[in-house]
Amino acid sequence: MDKTGSPSKKNIRDYWWKSMVQLNENIVGIDAAIFMHPTTWKASGHVDAFNDPLIDNKDSKKRYRADVLIEDYVAKIENKIKKEVTKAAKRFGDAFDKEQFLSANPRVVEYQTKAESILKRMGQSLEKEDLADVKSLIEELEIACPETGSRNWTDVKQFNLMFGTKLGASADTAMDLYLRPETAQGIFVNFLNVQKSGRMKLPFGIAQTGKAFRNEIVARQFIFRMREFEQMEMQFFIPPGTQKEWYKYWKEKRLKWHQSLGLGNDNYRFHDHDKLAHYADAATDIEFNFPFGFKELEGIHSRTDFDLGNHEKFAGKKLQYFDPERNENYVPYVVETSIGLDRIFLALFSKSLQEETLEDGSTRTVLKLPPVMAPTQLAVFPLVKKDGLPEIARKIVEDLKWDFAVAYDEKDAVGRRYRRQDALGTPFCITIDHQTSEDQTVTVRNRDTMAQERIAVDAIGELLKEKLSFSELLKKL
Ligand code: ATP
């Protein structure tokens, strides 16, 4: 039985895969290589343009992403706005109109204007590669090293995030390679393969999940930013000129997917980009309200024909589609959805882990994961370690383990066993007692409500099927 987070991660990956590949006739899945020919990364623009602006503090010797320092400054302004709203909501009670307050309160309007103008200036400077102005902005805002308060900064430099490695046995013949910084390029180079062998017609998508690697300047905030992480990406190939409508479609679809997890719709927001990446004509982030503020969870990008067009040029091979309706060949446009599996895991975990005070004043730690995402789906307890109860419990585990993730626990009092499973996020526990051998019923206890009811042993499988199936979630999409 698994008490780690990996089954949850797998469940999230499965949910994404089902919602993309299983539910859409026109989306297929692939599993491309991590190593690709180095020219791939030249063609994709990553070798030349996959950079982050880096700044060092001369006193603390700490290294930061200049854009993140500025964004954190803006987040503080946004927090001040939030505080004003909370204060006013208390003051005005039921009569409070949030929208009106946001547009009319002079202090809030001033904060808002300031935040917007900072982000706009940063976006424009990064777009023009005017790194001196990014530094000026940091100085004008008097941003200090978060660890020491020092404002003694170096100039801002570009830092390439590609992870280099070597292929080959001897140093002189070895070939420089890169680990992939995103899974998307494996999809682009396989576009024609998939389209031809699957006889796919536009619009259609290719989805894949897998590891990606980035030499991040700073990797911190738990698993929010790592150098090795997993992505779930889908590239949707479309006729040129239809990108606006598909971009809108996938924005809405993906937001709905997140909301279906039940973490609270207020915890998501779109952040449309001012500064566009080298490949995009429109881009947005779905941001999530992490414990450290709203941050990117998923990116949705309208990538035009940038990638396929460039691979065509560098490979000297056509990557075109013949459109029978338009009666012409063209390089398709692409709308991409790209989400970090580790980030969604963090999102789920951070909202689900709760400390509850019960009616009797005691507390319990409970991981209120959506039941289908829980690592263990059912825990089975014999009330006592004698009178044949462990044998009955073991038999139930044996019968159910083929379809569900089941745990067996006989240690300590039942109350303590419940608490242990609460903290692990197990949605249901069943207890076998002396009545079980008489009438073949057990007690089922619900993690969230803590309510207990008696059901027949034969009905456990059905109950789990009903409560733990992906289909209920998928139907909401
Ligand atoms: P950020 O601005 O946070 O660096 P990004 O805009 O570079 O992210 P994308 O290139 O759009 O990110 O990558 C798509 C998704 O991959 C992101 O939305 C995120 O969920 C995930 N991701 C990107 N970098 C990392 C990382 N270093 N660690 C974990 N997940 C990541």
If we measure between CA atoms, which residue out of 456, 445, 462 comes closest to residue 364?
A: 445
Distance in Å, CA 239 to ligand 1 centroid: 27
Same domain as 205, residue 121: no
**What CA–CA distance (Å, rounded) separates 234 from 187?**
8
Name the residue at shortest CA distance from atom 30 of ligand 1: 340
Answer yes or no: is the C-beta of 229 below 6 A from any ligand 1 atom.
Answer: yes
The finding on whether 345 has its CB within 6 A of some atom of ligand 1 is no
Centre of ligand 1 to C-alpha 230, Å, is 10
Q: Is residue 280 part of a domain?
A: yes
Domain end position, chosen among 155, 190, 215: 155
Q: Residue 230: which of 177, 182, 175, 173 has the closest Cα?
A: 182
Q: How far is CA 367 from CA 117, 222, 268, in A?
A: 40, 18, 20
Same domain assignment for residues 61 and 206 = no
- The CB of 143 under 6 Å from ligand 1? The reply is no
Tokens in use for 21? 């590949």
The pLDDT of residue 220 is 78
**Within-domain flag for 46:** no
Both 274 and 296 in a single domain? yes
Identify whether residues 343 and 204 lie together within a single domain.
Answer: yes
Centroid of ligand 1 to alpha carbon of 164 (angstroms): 19
3 and 128 both lie in a single domain? no
251 close to ligand 1 (CB < 6 Angstrom)? no
Choose among 340, 341, 333, 329: nearest CA to 236.
333
**Residue 279 to residues 59, 276, 310, 422, Cα–Cα distance (Å):** 37, 8, 10, 46
Q: Which residue has the tokens 């969870």?
A: 297
425 lines ligand 1 (CB under 6 A): no
Distance of CA 324 to the CA centre of its chain: 37
Provide the number of structural domains found in the chain.
3
Does the beta carbon of 216 lie inside 6 Å of ligand 1? yes
Ligand 1 atom having least distance to the Cα of 298:
18
Separation of CA 196 from chain center? 31
SS3 453: strand
CATH number of residue 241's parent domain = 3.30.930.10
Q: Hey, whose CA ends up nearest to atom 2 of ligand 1? A: 296
Whether residue 58 sits in one domain with residue 15: no
Q: Are residues 382 and 347 in the same domain?
A: no
- Ligand 1 in reach of 343 Cβ (< 6 A): yes
CA neighbor of 66 nearest in space, from 75, 49, 54: 54
What is the spatial distance between Cα 358 and Cα 337, in angstroms, rounded to a whole number? 42
Write down the pLDDT at residue 445. 97
The reply to whether ligand 1 has any atom less than 6 angstroms from the CB of 225 is yes
231 lines ligand 1 (CB under 6 A): yes
The closest-lying atom of ligand 1 relative to the alpha carbon of residue 285 is 18
Ligand 1, atom 9, lies closest to the CA of: 299
Substitution site in 46, 343, 348 for ligand 1 pocket (most atoms within 8 Å of beta carbon)? 343
19 occurs within a structural domain: yes
Chunk the chain into consecutive blocks of 10 residues (it has 477) and report each block's average pLDDT, rounded to whole numbers.
78 97 97 94 90 94 94 94 92 89 92 94 91 96 95 95 87 85 96 95 97 90 92 98 97 96 95 80 95 94 95 93 95 97 96 93 94 95 94 96 94 95 96 94 96 95 91 88
Question: What's the CATH number where 460 sits?
Answer: 3.40.50.800
Polymer length in residues for the chain? 477
Q: Domain range for residue 449?
A: 358-475
Model pLDDT, residue 266 = 95
Q: Output the residue whose Cα is nearest ligand 1's atom 8.
A: 296
Alpha carbon of 263 to those of 21, 290, 368, 466: distances in Å? 24, 11, 10, 21
Token duo for residue 152: 């003694």
